[in-house]
Amino acid sequence: RVVYVNGEYVPYAQASVHVEDRGFQFADGVYEVCEILDGNLVDERRHMARLERSLSELRIDEPMSLRSLGVILRETVRRNRVRNGIVYLQITRGVARRDFAFPSPGDAPGVVCFARSLSRKAGDAKAAVGVAVITLPDIRWKRVDIKTTGLLAQSLARQAAREAGAYEAWLVDEKGYVTEGASCNAWILTGDGKLVTRSAESGILRGITREVAMETARARGLHYEERPFTVEEAKSAREAFQTSASGLVMPVVKIDGVAIGNGKPGEIASGLRAAYHGVAEVSTPHHL
């Protein structure tokens, strides 16, 4: 396995960054995770557009053109012979003598990229039975709209989920409304057949899978509403599911131990999962 680190493809065991990389000291960096489907990148344009926005919100220089970053993504996928899985791209503000304030302009951002195989069969098998989630207070900072590598709150939440025998943690704001999962967006289907997911205007990351799932819903003639929903509403929903690039549309069958609907993956969620790649942009060629 090889990893792209600041201009070079190096063996996994030797892939390292400097101790004064600001990503390491301050989580001063952003990242993206793209799905790889049969060797192709899924929803690349949207992921790259979000990456650009994350960089700009943090005033991190773009290390190179999006087209060049696209070359690195593809080359990393190719060199690791990943057919199905994910590719991870991270950009930090780079190496500088430790100081909270930004280093002087001109210091180069740090770029890291790796690809990893994931079994599609295993993902589909998980989706066929559905997953359990727990709910926890959302203790993250207020700029969750930026996809930063500052993921300690999410890590604590995921670990709590694991220890509770659940797959994911759904986070809950101070008013009792679900924001999103530790690394996914949260959805429910109401009793009257409406999909509901929180608006990207507040409290969540604007998930790419969320956006494409919305398009998939529209293509299937389904109605959705962008509004907050409470844990109680979720527990009495007809269906629940979550979306992310690595998990796609994943049915949720249990929230805090309470079975959702009949306790099996919902028809609508399963239908969205099956239709997803027909709506997503799946690409090898450069079109940026």
Q: Catalytic residue numbers? A: 147
For ligand PLP, the closer of residues 210 and 254 by Cβ is 210
Alpha-helix runs per DSSP H in 203-250:
208-219, 231-235
Binding of residue 210 to ligand PLP (CB under 6 A):
yes
Binding ligand PLP (rule: CB under 6 A), the pick from 40, 135, 216, 243 is 243
* Main-chain dihedrals φ then ψ at residue 77, nearest 5 degrees: -65, -45
Minimum distance from CB of 163 to ligand PLP (Å)? 20
Which residue from 135, 209, 216, 270 is in contact with ligand PLP, where contact means CB under 6 A?
Answer: 209
Q: Tell the smallest beta-carbon distance from residue 49 to ligand PLP (Å).
A: 11
Give the span between the Cα atoms of 277 and 248, in whole angstroms.
9
CA–CA distance, 269 with 267 (Å, rounded to integer): 6
Which residue in the block uniquely carries the two structure tokens 């993250």? Answer: 140
Nearest distance, CB of residue 34 and ligand PLP, angstroms: 8
Beta pairing partners, 100: none
Interface segment toward ligand PLP; rule CB under 6 A; list 61-69, 207-215, 226-234, 256-264:
207-215
Q: How far is the CB of 244 from ligand PLP (least distance, A)?
A: 4
Residue 89 touches ligand PLP, criterion: CB under 6 A: no
* Cα separation, 258 vs 45, whole angstroms: 38
If binding is defined by CB under 6 A, does position 185 make contact with ligand PLP? yes
List phi, psi (to 5°) of 26.
-125, 5
Cα 105 → chain centroid: 30
CB of 201 to ligand PLP, least distance (A): 14
Q: Both tokens of residue 29? A: 């960096």
SS3 63: coil
Q: Residue 207 interacts with ligand PLP (CB under 6 A)?
A: yes
Q: Based on CB atoms, which residue is closest to ligand PLP, 183 or 261?
A: 183
Name the residue nearer to ligand PLP (CB basis): 164 or 200: 200
205 belongs to the binding site for ligand PLP (CB under 6 A): yes
CA–CA dist 55, 147 (Å, integer): 9
Q: Are 238 and 208 contacting, i.e. CB atoms less than 8 angstroms apart?
A: no
Footprint on residues 10-39 left by ligand PLP (CB under 6 A)? 33
Rounded CA separation 204/247 (Å): 17
Q: Work out which of 184, 188, 189, 196 binds ligand PLP, going by CB under 6 A.
A: 184
The residue among 4 and 276 lying less far from ligand PLP, judged by its C-beta, is: 276
CA distance linking residue 25 with residue 15, whole number of Å: 18
Which span (118-126, 183-191, 257-265, 272-280) binds ligand PLP, by CB under 6 A? 183-191
Whole-number Å distance between alpha carbons of 158 and 161: 5
Does position 180 interact with ligand PLP (CB under 6 A)? The reply is yes
Q: Is 76 in the site for ligand PLP (CB under 6 A)?
A: no
Q: Say whether residue 244 binds ligand PLP (CB under 6 A).
A: yes
Q: What is the largest CA-CA distance in the chain?
A: 58
Nearest CA to 189 out of 123, 111, 251 is that of 251
* Residue 245 interacting with ligand PLP (CB under 6 A): yes
Which residues contact ligand PLP (rule: CB under 6 A)? Answer: 33, 180, 183-185, 205, 207-210, 243-245
